[in-house]
Amino acid sequence: MKTLIRKWFDIVLWKRILAALVLGAIAGYFFGDRVESFKWVGDLFIRMIKMLIVPLVFLTLVSGVTAMSDPKRIGSIGGRAIALYLGTTALAIVIGLICGTVLHPGAGADFTGATPYEVNKAVSLTERFMAIVPENPFAAFAEGNLLAIIFFAIMTGCALLITGDKARGLTNIFEQGSEMMLKMTSIVMEVAPFGVFALVAWVMGSVGLSAFMNLFILAVAVYVGCFVHMFLVQGPLVKLLARLPVRPFFKGAREPQLVAFSTSSSSATLPATLSAAEHNLGIKPAIASSVLPLGATVNMDGAALYVTIVTLFAAQAFGMPLDLADYLIIGITTTLVSVGASTVPSGSLFLMAVVLESIGMTPAQSALVVGFVLPFDRILDMMRTVVNITGDLAVSTIVAKWEGEIDESIYKAEPFE
């Protein structure tokens, strides 16, 4: 028994997660709805990693700010990160427009049998920006409001820096707390293979390949667009802007990518992303703890690409001709709604109504499109979440290089296979 356990832990984590993902898909395909009986294992895994998010973000971000020594660097790091996030989102929208136009996924779409799904009205940009400043920090912690937590953590870190030696004891506590949370993340990640197996089996068992075929061309367009964005935009940007080899970047990103694929949640993947940034890519806490939580809330490359393609799908299905002005409207509207989109599974789907209305689609048509896509959206969401967290890591790597906050010996080191 001890030998088997030792052999299990001798296998690198990403291989265990990948094997669990494949086996989960096979189990779901053959056993169908019966896999529902052990879905609780996947739910438990998600609860465990969600348990880490708030204390991990707060402690690591405060620790990262205090490690900068100069509060002025926060503006430099934040400005560069946001500019890169917006740039990659714009490129994702362009790729979505190209894939949606070339592959024409809406041609011949049949909405017969689809149940219209009324979507809630999108929150205005003013409300989103106001929500960044919490009226009650403790309420923000209880609600898991990441943007508000990030703001309060930055304020706390800056206050500690200004206080200086008088707050040295408290600063050390935050540093020690950050290390503790990263260790706890490593412990929880050992459960990942079991959670991934259960989640993927449940998705395959409940949705199945037959249902997936109903949206085959749309799914192909989304997956092709996601792979193009990762390998022709995000990877090359690391090479071009950070002057670092691309192969170690994708190797270092494997574990959070697999977790993202199974959980379909950028925020739930955040603990794994932070761990990979520090241990696999050599990104120092000052950058990882500030840029990655920000990316988990505002960087939605996958969502932007997806919303763009589904918008074209809907226009094609309803026979609505689009011109250059419509494409520009789609691009601008998608950028606005994707920033700060919900980081839970299928969250971006419910922003669809805003973009669809911007090109003249009626609320009834929007509800029908959402109702048609929603039953199989999880399979599409899995891939676009991978794109989101890959973009977070790419931007973090670039900013870390620019700020001199990356250990290139760790980044370039050959991982233990």
Each residue's pLDDT expressed in tens, for the chain with a length of 417 residues: 667 777 777 788 888 888 988 898 888 888 887 888 888 988 898 889 888 888 988 888 888 888 776 667 777 888 899 899 989 999 999 999 999 999 888 877 766 666 676 665 555 556 667 877 889 999 989 988 877 888 898 889 889 888 888 888 998 999 899 889 888 888 888 888 998 898 888 888 876 665 556 678 888 999 999 999 999 999 999 999 999 999 999 999 999 999 999 888 887 888 999 989 999 999 988 888 888 888 887 788 888 898 899 899 988 888 888 888 888 888 888 877 666 555 545 556 656 777 888 888 887 888 888 778 877 777 888 898 999 999 999 999 999 999 999 999 999 886 555
Q: How many CB atoms lie within 10 A of CB 39?
A: 16
CA-wise closest residue to 81 among 298, 260, 281: 298
pLDDT at position 309, please?
A: 92
Burial of 139 from C-beta contacts in 10 A (0-12 / 13-18 / 19+): exposed
What residues does each domain of the chain span? 13-53+89-122+185-412
Backbone angles phi, psi at 319, to 5 degrees: 70, 35
Residue 283's SS3 state is: strand
Q: Do residues 92 and 341 touch, judged by C-beta distance below 8 A?
A: no
Rounded-to-integer distance, Cα 52 and Cα 413, Å: 28
CA-wise closest residue to 229 among 283, 298, 309: 309
Rounded-to-integer distance, Cα 151 and Cα 313, Å: 38
Classified by CATH at the fold level, domain 13-53+89-122+185-412 comes out as: Proton glutamate symport protein (1.10.3860)
pLDDT at position 3, please?
A: 77
pLDDT at position 406, please?
A: 94
